[in-house]
Amino acid sequence: MEIVASSVNASFSLPSSSHNFSIPQVPQLKCLSLRVIESRFSLTHGKNKKGVGFTNRDCGNEYSLVGVAPWISSNKLFPRSCLFRSSWSFLARRRKRKSVMKLKDFSFGLKHHASVLFVRLVTGVMLVMSISLASSNPSWALTEENLLFLEAWRVIDRAYIDKSFNGQSWFRYREDALRKEPMNNREETYTAIRKMLATLDDPFTRFLEPEKLRSLRSGTQGALTGVGISIGYPTKAAMPSGGLVVISASPGGPAYRAGVSSGDIILGIDDTSTENLGLYDAAERLQGPEGSSVALTIRSGSDVKHLSLTREKVSLNPVTSRLCKTPASGNGSPKVGYIKLTSFNQNASSAIKEAINTLRSENVNAFVLDLRDNSGGLFPEGIETAKIWLDKGVIVYICDSRGIRDILDTDGSNALAISEPLAVLVNKGTASASEILAGALKDNKRAILFGEPTFGKGYLLMVWFNSNKKEKGNSCFL
């Protein structure tokens, strides 16, 4: 039952009991709700155990009427009664509790909904990816041409010394090239590779197709058919507008007889300007069938010369030697063994050993090693030649972008001429492997250098072969 009272006298009787209760006037009682919830205890002292309880709906607390009546009748007015919580402080606390409970419920609900939303989002993304992969077009798969391009990209990514890649994002270039560059056939793939390497702006990093690789290999063998010059890229200070520089001219060759010397600039080959011509394209144009002619435009100092040269077979025997006597009287004059090394091909180190043994048979007292106009060649041959003259010591430090990667030295096991005094002749045509040899002999105090500053290349060119299966032979990255 419910009782609503507002400053009135209220009374009620309990049908299950013989007792009546009179409730005195309750001041400022807005609402009093009583509800019979169950029979708990007897309100009499007899065996009748029926009782009633009620719930205060305002505060949500449940009370039993057992033992309450005497207490109520002993208090005429119960403004501090705990049974009917009608004080304003209680109402404030009750509202505060409800606010806290609502905030907790809201926080719990927000976390719950956020978790559900996150799970649904992840599930949706995975579902979309699965459907996309399952229904992807087979044409999106990497082709054989794409794989060849990626192989070239990986070689540069792994071995190139400048890890800023000339100030560009190397990974982004790969993704852009695979999307935008046509690679439908081998020639288009080669073009894409050359375009990629051009972004490095490095004249020493080149891609060689199979035919150019064959030309490179022929230059390190016994002979070739051409005009007998070694060429390279000039420094920007020497040639701001481009072109190719003559590093050396082979003694006795067509170019040497025509007066071409180290430091001359090749402006044109036949009708083609060398301003934007690659090094290996130029080498291919200079070589040709024996007896054929080639026109060169040469700038030597301030003079420009137009030459017509006939190609011939040029011997690539890299070593010449002779016995030299110093001007002195008598049979006891010092004898000097002179050795000229023009390049480092596959015969270089063995030819040096042969020359040393021949000159020693003439009882030489010292050696002169002439590296002028030696443009380099095979790096391993340069190392083997250094070992001939050194009993021990470091030959060269090989460094990459992270610092020293390798140290090549010698323990003297291959030494042949370590006791005789040695002088080394160099000039601006001394480059690459010949610079490594000259530097090793100087730094280990084995020889004294004479001449002028060398070419100053400072790079070690490594050849990386790719897995080209469609061509006869491999292409490579230099």
Query: Does residue 477 come out as left (phi exceeding 0), alpha (psi in the -120 to 50 range) or beta?
Result: beta
Cα Rg of the chain, angstroms: 50
Residue of 146, 278, 295 lying closest to 212 (CA atoms): 278
Query: What's the gap between Cα 255 and its chain centre?
Result: 44
CA–CA distance, 320 with 305 (Å, rounded to integer): 30
Query: Within 10 A of 222 (CB to CB), how many other CB atoms are there?
Result: 12
Tokens at 377, concatenated: 């060649």
The number of CA neighbours under 13 Å toward the Cβ of 387 is: 16
CA–CA distance, 273 with 288 (Å, rounded to integer): 18
Residue 196 makes CB contacts below 8 A (sequence gap 6+) with 149, 152, 153, 156, 173, 177
CA–CA distance, 161 with 8 (Å, rounded to integer): 100
215 annotated active-site: no
Q: What DSSP string describes 145-193?
A: HHHHHHHHHHHHHHH-S-TTTTTS-HHHHHHHHHHHS--SSHHHHHHHH
CA–CA distance, 3 with 322 (Å, rounded to integer): 135
Query: Within 10 A of 317 (CB to CB), how many other CB atoms are there?
Result: 14
* Spatial contact of 1 and 55, defined as CB atoms under 8 Å apart: no
- Determine the Cα angle at 175 with ends 174 and 176, to 5°: 95
The dihedral over CA atoms of 238, 240, 241, 242, expressed in degrees to the nearest 10, equals 60
How far are the Cα atoms of 150, 183, 197, 207 from residue 170, in angstroms, in the given order?
A: 12, 19, 11, 17
Residue type, 301: G
CA–CA distance, 351 with 155 (Å, rounded to integer): 34
Query: What's the gap between Cα 156 and its chain centre?
Result: 9
Of these residues, 432, 434, 442, 469, which one is catalytic?
432
CA–CA distance, 338 with 355 (Å, rounded to integer): 9
Tokens at 312, concatenated: 């011939």
Tokens at 182, concatenated: 């046509």
Query: Within 10 A of 255 (CB to CB), how many other CB atoms are there?
Result: 25
The DSSP 8-state label assigned to residue 138 in this structure reads G
432 annotated active-site: yes
* Spatial contact of 346 and 221, defined as CB atoms under 8 Å apart: yes
Of these residues, 86, 349, 457, 475, which one is catalytic?
457
- Name the residues annotated as catalytic: 432, 457
